Amino acid sequence: MKANREIRKLGNRAIASLLTALLLMTATAFAQKSKPAAKPAAAQAEQARAIVLRGGKLLTITHGAIENGVLVMENGKITAVGAADSVQVPKNARIIDVTGMTVYPGLIDSETQLGLTEISLDTTTNDLEETSDAIMPHMHVYDAFHAESELIPVTRMNGVTNAIVAPATRDTLPGQDSFVQLDGKSSQEMLLVRDIAMPLNFTGAQRRNESFEKAKFPQTRMGMAAQLRQVFIDAQDYAQKFPDYDKKAADWEKDKKGDKPSPPKRDLKLEALLPYLEGKRPVVLAAEEPSDLQVALGLAREFRLKVILNHVSHSQILLDQIAATQLPVIVGPIYETPKDNERYDSVYKLPAELAKRGVKIAFASYDSHNVRNLPYQAGYAVAFGLSHEEAMKALTMNPAEIWGVADQLGSLDPGKTANVVVADGDPLELKTDVKRVFIAGREVPLESRQTRLRDQYGK
Amino acid sequence: MRHPRALFLLCLLFLAAGTLAAQQPATHNEVLIKNGTILTITHGTIQNGSIYIKDGKIVAVGQGVEAPPTAQVIDATGKFVMPGIIDSHSHVALDDDVNEATSPIVPQMMMEDAFQYTDKAIYHSLAGGVTTSLLLHGSANMIGGQAVVIKHKYGLGRDQMLFPGAPRSIKFASGENPKRVYGSRQQMPSTRMGNFAVQRQALQEAREYMRDWDAYEAKAKAGDKDAKPPKRDLKLEALADILRGKFLVQIHCYRADEFLTEMSMAREFGYKIRAFHHALEMYKVADKVAAEGIGIATFADWWGYKHEAFDAIPWNAVLSMRKGVRVAIKSDSNDFARRLNQEAAKAIRYGGATEDEALRMITLNPAWIVGVDDRVGSLDVGKDADISIWNHHPLSSYALVDQVLIDGDVYFDRSLPGYGMTHYKEGQ
């Protein structure tokens, strides 16, 4: 409502294009959301008391591993990181001995459907995507994100603390992603960045060709491309209507001759596309096959979209070209089965092959119930040639950079949000047990519906 | 066509050549896998151990095992050697023919008739160390079709991939799937009571079919020349074979109450259940199921995809095992089938299984479920030489399969270019 009023005011005053207005609003909204939400007194006191993790091996991500390290968290932030003898421990701190443990930043999953589904086959629990039309950029996953989902505590148990929540992928433009933190009393607290990016799916799976009788456009890849091109042009035309109107209105004010011009009718669908057409926010471009990837990249160039690549699972022949674009890639899932003409390990090897060419990669589970298996995917990529260091980065710092939150997340560095994981071994090993998870400096109990069932029946 | 006969002969020759090539892979009568860490499954780990294979069978396992100089030598120094992985719940290579979902009782279906032996998915899981799979009918039916057991000898002909002499298994299903499939068509069953009523009715008809045949055979035996044999019915014959104990009964079943109902129905009709598949709520009633000697083929951590999977917990495998249930981790997916070693490793993460216990869940235990544990599933003298060789401990995230042998012959070798296969030729 407030947004409506603001836009009308802007139009009447003729001071700026609608685009700028929208961007300002987004910036304001972001600033508001970034402010820590009010917390109950007890939680505040708990957070205020410093927590010290002492004696563990710290995988800092940005400056190597520190054996026998010390990490200090205060007021939800990391305040000190270093070797045992180099860090001053605050008075009255809660000191936790983590000797023999590995300490690392919370993992970031670059595509999930967390909070949008509870039981896959039960449609009443699903808010995965709006399939009434293939072009739905005005769908915001934050409107559906269910903070109390039983899936979220299950996700935390392997150290995933942040995730991109994306709509499912049957629409070419299914809506806009949000970036969440996996702890909080409400969705308000957990949604760190709303509308952080917009997926553009061009994998061939989006074609609406269920049957010739009930066929819906687009049935083909050319249909999908034409539809996308048209809607982008419509959005550009739409954006132009507002400065045009402002000019007309200003002219009319001068002599008041004829009818007073009326402002253009607002269109939320087209409006949603504008920040992306302006290159202010990234489009997550999903393609698997080389031909699809090239078409999608062509569209992106044509409309000057800011791109994060997604999947590229079967585009091995384009790896050098992908590297030349210098675009980051959300890679995987590496469990995608190979095509008949591909060797068994062609997809498993992708992260290593991309990293070797200098591409910034990030992992994603593309899952909801088993987002917890994210580190194992990275581990398997290591088996197929990715360095352990790169694999850890692709779960932490790389996604933090790709999603524009590297000042807050992605490494063990002073000043960052205290999302910290303590495990009894290598984070990427299947046998490793995560012992503690801290999110914004609060130790989150590793309890879930699943541990409760285990404890109830497992005696 | 001017020379139809010549063309025919040419075709015949061509076919014969193809068959010949498929039938005569470059087999080695004798193989020595040397100096590896041998994970035997049944008798612990042997450091610097060797395995001597002759004519496709394991002849010796241990330290200081020798072989004649003519034997092919595979150097396993620094490597881990374990039995080939057994997948006790697979639908690999069945194309879209998994479910004959036109009736809730279809025991006359033979999965062998749908086995698409050229499916590359067989190779994908071979490259993950799988050597034997139980190919089951789908779960749309209370009583589904008859399974086929294959060895992953990718590149060979269809019949050469069938596991010789494997016992017959039949698939049952319960719970949401049958009631959803038929309920959505306004047919019975649409509820769990409908499910079990349909199953009970079918088994009752089988009893009557057996009684008719028994009566006829008794008359015929007594010399009654007028005795007329009842009409043969493939469906009822298969059902009768269940009651005669000729099948290993493999039941898709999720919920605790349904395990108990299935068990009481088996008692009522006098057949044995071999294993519950999926069995995600087994941890709730494991002691009762263990007492009947029934195994489970379950997922490590898959959950929440439907209501009856919402109480799944990743500790299920180990909690059930501790109560005495024989536990297998299975794929039920062409994807998981490629990395069952990783799924088994989760039994260590969730519940603290030992490495031996975890490995048993993808070797000897599934072999028992399939009924071939006397033939495969461990590195013991006399067993088929179905062996996977790994560059790290197979329960590590970092483990890759280097080589896979089936019946003593190498079928996959990661170091080879192209697909890494020894018996497959492009365009085959």
Q: How far is CA A386 from the centre of its chain?
A: 23
A338 contact B CB<8A: yes
- A215/A152 same-domain check: yes
- CATH classification at residue A301: 3.20.20.140
Say whether A431 and B348 touch across the interface (CB within 8 A).
yes
Q: Is residue B261 part of a domain?
A: yes
Q: Is the pLDDT of residue A12 over 90?
A: no
Q: What is the number of other CB atoms lying within 10 angstroms of the CB of residue B197?
A: 14
Give the SS3 label for residue A138. coil
- The beta-strand segments (E) located in A17-112 are 51-59, 65-74, 77-83, 94-97, 102-105, 107-112
Q: Six-digit token pair at B395?
A: 């329960």
Burial status of residue B216 (CB atoms within 10 A of its CB: 0-12, 13-18, 19 or more): middle
Task: Give the A window 346-385 contacts with B, CB below 8 Å.
Answer: 368-370, 372-373, 376, 379-380, 382-384
- A311/A196 same-domain check: yes
Give the β-pairing of B387-390 and B401-406.
antiparallel
Q: What is the number of other CB atoms lying within 10 angstroms of the CB of residue B282?
A: 29
Torsion, Cα of B33, B36, B39, B43 (10° steps): 80
pLDDT at residue B7, rounded to an integer: 42
Asked whether the beta carbons of B376 and B132 are under 8 A apart, the reply is yes
- B361/B409 same-domain check: no
Give the SS3 label for residue A69. strand
Cα separation, A408 vs A181, whole angstroms: 12
Q: Which residues in chain B touch residue A382, judged by CB atoms under 8 angstroms apart?
A: 397-398
| Number of domain units in chain B | 2
Say whether B349 and A432 touch across the interface (CB within 8 A).
yes
- A380/A433 same-domain check: no
Q: Is the pLDDT of residue B120 over 80?
A: yes
B213 contact A CB<8A: no
Cα separation, A189 vs A98, whole angstroms: 29
- B232/B137 same-domain check: yes
**Residue B148: beta bridge partners?**
B135
Interval A289-315 mean pLDDT = 98
B176 contact A CB<8A: yes
Residue of B nearest to A385 (CA): B398
- A378/A430 same-domain check: no
**Residue A436: beta bridge partners?**
A422
Interval A164-174 mean pLDDT = 97
Cα separation, A294 vs B243, whole angstroms: 60
To the nearest whole angstrom, how far is the Cα of B140 from the nearest Cα of chain A? 15
Give the SS3 label for residue B242. helix
B178-224, pLDDT tens digit by residue?
999 999 999 999 999 999 999 999 999 999 999 999 999 999 999 99
Q: What is the number of other CB atoms lying within 10 angstroms of the CB of residue B275?
A: 30
- A171/A295 same-domain check: yes
pLDDT at residue B22, rounded to an integer: 43
Q: Is the pLDDT of residue A4 over 80?
A: no
Interval A369-385 mean pLDDT = 98
- CATH classification at residue B37: 2.30.40.10
To the nearest whole angstrom, how far is the Cα of A105 from the nearest Cα of chain B? 20
Say whether A345 and B127 touch across the interface (CB within 8 A).
yes
CA distances from A192 to A77, A81, B330 (A): 15, 24, 39
Q: Which residues in chain A touch residue B279, judged by CB atoms under 8 angstroms apart?
A: none
pLDDT at residue A212, rounded to an integer: 66
Q: How far is CA B361 from the centre of its chain?
A: 13
**Residue A135: beta bridge partners?**
A173
- A423/A360 same-domain check: no
* Residue A257 neighbours by CB under 8 Å, 6+ apart: none
Q: Which residues in chain A touch residue B346, judged by CB atoms under 8 angstroms apart?
A: 430
A23-82, pLDDT tens digit by residue?
444 443 443 444 444 555 555 665 578 999 999 999 999 999 999 999 999 999 999 999
Say whether B400 and A376 touch across the interface (CB within 8 A).
no
- B241/B251 same-domain check: yes
Q: Please name which of B18, B71, B88 lies closest in space to residue B408, comparing C-alpha atoms.
A: B71
Q: Is residue A301 part of a domain?
A: yes
What is the Rg, in whole angstroms, of the alpha carbon atoms belonging to chain A? 24
Residue of A nearest to B416 (CA): A343
Burial A121-136 (b: 16+ CB within 10 A, else e): beeebbbbbbeeebbb
B229-251, pLDDT tens digit by residue?
999 999 999 999 999 999 999 99
DSSP state letter for B166 = P
B427 contact A CB<8A: no
- B22/B90 same-domain check: no
Say whether A369 and B304 touch across the interface (CB within 8 A).
yes
Q: Please name which of A381, A314, A322 lies closest in space to residue A341, comparing C-alpha atoms.
A: A314
Q: Mean pLDDT lowest for which of A23-32, A307-316, A359-368, B24-33?
A: A23-32
Give the β-pairing of A51-59 and A102-105.
parallel
Say whether A337 and B124 touch across the interface (CB within 8 A).
yes
pLDDT above 70 coverage of chain B, percent: 93
Q: Which residues in chain B touch residue A113, judged by CB atoms under 8 angstroms apart?
A: none
Give long-range contacts, CB 8 A cutoff, 24+ apart: B185-193: B188/B104, B189/B104, B189/B142, B192/B258
Type of residue at A361 = I
B307 contact A CB<8A: yes
Could you tell me which residue, B291 or A27, shows the higher pLDDT? B291
Residue of A nearest to B352 (CA): A431
Say whether A382 and B342 touch across the interface (CB within 8 A).
no
Sign for the pseudo-dihedral over CA of B182, B187, B188, B193: positive
Say whether B284 and A457 touch across the interface (CB within 8 A).
yes
B60 contact A CB<8A: no
Give the SS3 label for residue A386. coil
Q: Six-digit token pair at A86?
A: 């180099």
- CATH classification at residue B264: 3.20.20.140
- B221/B337 same-domain check: yes
Q: Six-digit token pair at B20?
A: 């010949």
Say whether A376 and B342 touch across the interface (CB within 8 A).
yes
Q: What is the mean pLDDT of chain B?
A: 94
Q: Six-digit token pair at B328?
A: 């297998």
Residue of A nearest to B395 (CA): A430
Say whether B397 and A383 touch across the interface (CB within 8 A).
yes
pLDDT at residue A5, rounded to an integer: 37
- A421/A314 same-domain check: no
B320 contact A CB<8A: no
- A135/A102 same-domain check: no
Cα separation, B131 vs B410, whole angstroms: 11
B121 contact A CB<8A: yes
Q: Is the pLDDT of residue B424 over 50?
A: yes
- CATH classification at residue A459: 2.30.40.10
pLDDT at residue A459, rounded to an integer: 75
Say whether A433 and B349 touch across the interface (CB within 8 A).
yes
- B48/B90 same-domain check: no
Say whether B304 and A379 touch across the interface (CB within 8 A).
no
Q: Six-digit token pair at B302?
A: 């898959």
pLDDT above 90 coverage of chain B, percent: 92
CA distances from A408 to A70, A282, A424, A448 (A): 20, 19, 25, 27
- B372/B422 same-domain check: no
- B38/B109 same-domain check: no
Asked whether the beta carbons of B114 and B128 are under 8 A apart, the reply is no
Q: Which residues in chain A touch residue B338, judged by CB atoms under 8 angstroms apart?
A: 335, 337, 344
Residue of B nearest to A372 (CA): B301
Say whether B349 and A384 touch across the interface (CB within 8 A).
no
Q: Please name which of A372, A371, A440 lies closest in space to residue A116, comparing C-alpha atoms.
A: A371
Cα separation, A12 vs B373, whole angstroms: 82
Q: Is the pLDDT of residue A274 over 70?
A: yes
Q: Is residue A259 part of a domain?
A: no
Q: How far is CA A417 from the centre of its chain?
A: 17
B338 contact A CB<8A: yes
pLDDT at residue B425, rounded to an integer: 84
pLDDT at residue A39, rounded to an integer: 52
Type of residue at B336 = F
Q: Is residue A250 part of a domain?
A: no
- A196/A297 same-domain check: yes
Q: How many residues does chain A have?
A: 459
- B175/B226 same-domain check: yes
Q: Is residue A111 part of a domain?
A: yes
Cα separation, B324 vs B245, whole angstroms: 24
**Residue A58: beta bridge partners?**
A66, A103
**Residue A439: beta bridge partners?**
A442
* Residue B420 neighbours by CB under 8 Å, 6+ apart: A343, A344, B127, B412, B413, B414
Q: How many CB pairs below 8 A link A and B?
A: 104
The domain containing residue B122 runs over which residues? 85-376
To the nearest whole angstrom, how far is the Cα of A59 from the nearest Cα of chain B? 19
Residue of A nearest to B427 (CA): A341
Q: What is the mean pLDDT of chain A?
A: 91
Cα separation, A380 vs B343, whole angstroms: 12
Q: Is the pLDDT of residue B226 over 80?
A: yes
pLDDT at residue A19, rounded to an integer: 39
Say whether B342 and A335 touch across the interface (CB within 8 A).
no
| Number of domain units in chain A | 2
- B206/B160 same-domain check: yes
Q: pTM of this prediction?
A: 0.91
Cα separation, A362 vs A357, whole angstroms: 14
Q: Is the pLDDT of residue A282 over 80?
A: yes
pLDDT at residue B32, rounded to an integer: 98
Residue of A nearest to B118 (CA): A340
- B159/B107 same-domain check: yes
Q: Which residues in chain B touch residue A383, judged by CB atoms under 8 angstroms apart?
A: 392, 397-400
The domain containing residue A187 runs over which residues? 107-222+270-409
**Residue B49: beta bridge partners?**
B36
To the nearest whole angstrom, how far is the Cα of A124 from the nearest Cα of chain B? 12
Best residue in B282, B306, B310, B397 for a mutation probing chain A (most A CBs within 10 Å): B397
Interval B156-163 mean pLDDT = 97
Best residue in A117, A156, A335, A450 for a mutation probing chain B (most B CBs within 10 Å): A450
Give the SS3 label for residue A40. coil
Q: Is residue B60 part of a domain?
A: yes
pLDDT at residue A207, rounded to an integer: 85
For helices A290-302 and A221-255, give the axis angle rounded to 10 degrees: 10
